[in-house]
Amino acid sequence: MEFCRVCKDGGELLCCDTCPSSYHLHCLNPPLPEIPNGEWLCPRCMCPPLKGKVQRILHWIWREPPPPLTPPELPDMDPNLPPPKPLEGLPERHFFVKWAGLSFWHCSWVTELQLELYHTVMYRNYQRKNDMDDPPPFDYGSGDEEGKSEKRKSKDPMYAEMEEKFYRYGIKPEWMMIHRILNHSFDKKGDVHYLIKWKDLSYDQCTWENEDIDIPEFEHFIQCYWNHRELMLGEDVRPPRKLNKKEKLTEEKLEKPPETPNVDPTIKFDKQPWYIDVTGGTLHPYQLEGLNWLRFSWAQGTDTILADEMGLGKTVQTIVYLYSLYKEGHSKGPFLVSAPLSTIINWEREFELWAPHFYVVTYTGDKDSRAVIRENEFSFEDNAIKCGKKVFRMKKEAQIKFHVLLTSYELITIDQAILGSIAWACLVVDEAHRLKNNQSKFFRVLNSYKIDYKLLLTGTPLQNNLEELFHLLNFLTPERFNNLEGFLEEFADISKEDQIKKLHDLLGPHMLRRLKVDVFKNMPAKTELIVRVELSQMQKKYYKFILTRNFEALNSKGGGNQVSLLNIMMDLKKCCNHPYLFPVASVEAPVLPNGSYDGNSLVKSSGKLILLQKMLKKLKEGGHRVLIFSQMTKMLDLLEDFLEYEGYKYERIDGGITGGLRQEAIDRFNGNFFFFFFFGPSRAGPPSLVH
Is 366 contained in some domain?
A: yes
H or E element, residue 306: strand 304-306
Instruction: Give the domain CATH number at 589.
Output: 3.40.50.300
Is 97 contained in some domain?
A: no
Q: Which domain holds residue 386?
A: 303-485
Strands (DSSP E) found in 140-263: 178-186, 192-198, 207-210
Instruction: Give the domain CATH number at 225.
Output: 2.40.50.40
User: Domain end: 220, 254, 288, which one?
Assistant: 254
Angle between helices 633-646 and 607-621 (to 10 degrees): 50
Average pLDDT, the chain: 83
Query: What's the rounded Cα separation, in Å, for the pair 344 and 353?
Result: 14
Instruction: Give the domain CATH number at 344.
Output: 3.40.50.10810
Whether residue 449 is predicted with pLDDT greater than 50 in this model: the reply is yes
In the prediction, which pLDDT does 497 show?
65
> CB of 509 within 8 A of CB of 516?
no
Tell me, yes or no, whether 312 and 243 share the same domain. no
Contacts of 677 (CB under 8 A, 6+ apart): 616, 625, 626, 628, 643, 648, 649, 650, 651
Is 135 contained in some domain?
A: no
Question: For residue range 148-157, what is the model confidence (pLDDT) as tens digits?
Answer: 445 556 666 7
User: For residue 683, how far is the Cα from the chain centroid?
Assistant: 11
Tell me, yes or no, whether 449 and 586 share the same domain. no
What percent of the chain clears pLDDT 70, i.e. is strictly above it?
82
623: left (phi over 0), alpha (psi -120 to 50) or beta: left
Tell me, yes or no, whether 549 and 456 share the same domain. no
What is 312-339 written as a DSSP string? S-HHHHHHHHHHHHHHTTS----EEEEE
165-174, 219-228, 378-387, range with the lowest pLDDT = 378-387
| DSSP one-letter code for 216 | T
Tell me, yes or no, whether 244 and 324 share the same domain. no
Tell me, yes or no, whether 464 and 357 share the same domain. yes
Tell me, yes or no, whether 316 and 459 share the same domain. yes
217: left (phi over 0), alpha (psi -120 to 50) or beta: left
Question: What's this model's pTM, rounded to 2 decimal places?
Answer: 0.72
The number of beta carbons lying within 10 Å of the beta carbon of residue 663 is 16
User: Domain end: 233, 254, 275, which one?
Assistant: 254
Is 92 contained in some domain?
A: no
Closest by CA to 471, choosing from 449, 451, 444, 489, is 444
Contacts of 40 (CB under 8 A, 6+ apart): 14, 16, 17
H or E element, residue 427: strand 426-429
User: For residue 502, how far is the Cα from the chain centroid?
Assistant: 48
In the prediction, which pLDDT does 150 show?
57
H or E element, residue 426: strand 426-429
What's the order of all strands across the beta sheet hosting 426-429? 360-363, 404-408, 335-339, 426-429, 454-457, 304-306, 511-512
Total number of domains constituting the chain: 3
Whether residue 294 is predicted with pLDDT greater than 60 in this model: the reply is yes
Tell me, yes or no, whether 571 and 631 share the same domain. yes
Is 368 contained in some domain?
A: yes
Whether residue 36 is predicted with pLDDT greater than 70 in this model: the reply is yes
Tell me, yes or no, whether 470 and 326 share the same domain. yes
Whether residue 476 is predicted with pLDDT greater than 90 in this model: the reply is no
